Amino acid sequence: MKLGPEEKRIMDKMQPGILTVDGFLGNDNRNLHDIIQEDAEKVEALGYTAEDIGKRMQYLTERSKEAYEEPILIDQKYLVQQDIWRGKVVCPFPHKGLYVKADIHLKNIENGIEISWTPLNIHFIEEHGFFEGKGSKHRLDPETLIKAIY
């Protein structure tokens, strides 16, 4: 599928060194639509929506703030710690929005899955259905993410 001008602008902003050092696409050579579509199909097959996942990630992130950057046990199942960094990052999609630079680390103590995300990941998933490109530093595989947070 040929890239439209808007999708090309978004993908240009997602390249390394534009909005972040590492970018958002990793070594994934597919166009943005195909990246989002493949992940949407995985999420749907597992019985969830990107919005469900984003809201769950946001819940865990908000609860982790109660521990002031220390680990906290949430719902007797998730060990979560949030590390907050100085600054904010902008979303490459065409709307206004700044997101705090932070890393949220989660360990599901029932199944042992460990995963990390950023506030921008939450926004990407909930609002755009974007889990980042394969090979991206903050890529979240939908199946692994779902197993970790549910």
- Rounded to whole angstroms, the Cα distance separating 84 from 100 reads 8
State the pTM of this model. Answer: 0.95
Query: What range does the domain containing 58 cover?
Result: 5-149
Return the structure tokens found at 58.
């946001």
Q: How many domains does the chain have?
A: 1
What are the two backbone dihedrals, phi and then psi, of residue 55, each rounded to the nearest 5 degrees? Answer: -65, -40
Return the structure tokens found at 39.
């992940």
Q: What is the pLDDT of residue 96?
A: 87
Q: Bridge-partner residues for 72, per DSSP?
A: 80
E strands, 1-150, where?
Answer: 72-74, 78-90, 98-108, 114-117
Q: What is the pLDDT of residues 47-98, one digit of tens each?
A: 999 999 999 999 999 999 999 889 999 999 999 999 999 999 999 999 888 9
**HEC string for 8-43:** HHHHHHCCCCCCCCCCCCCCCCCCHHHHHHHHHHHH
Q: What is the residue type of 75?
A: D
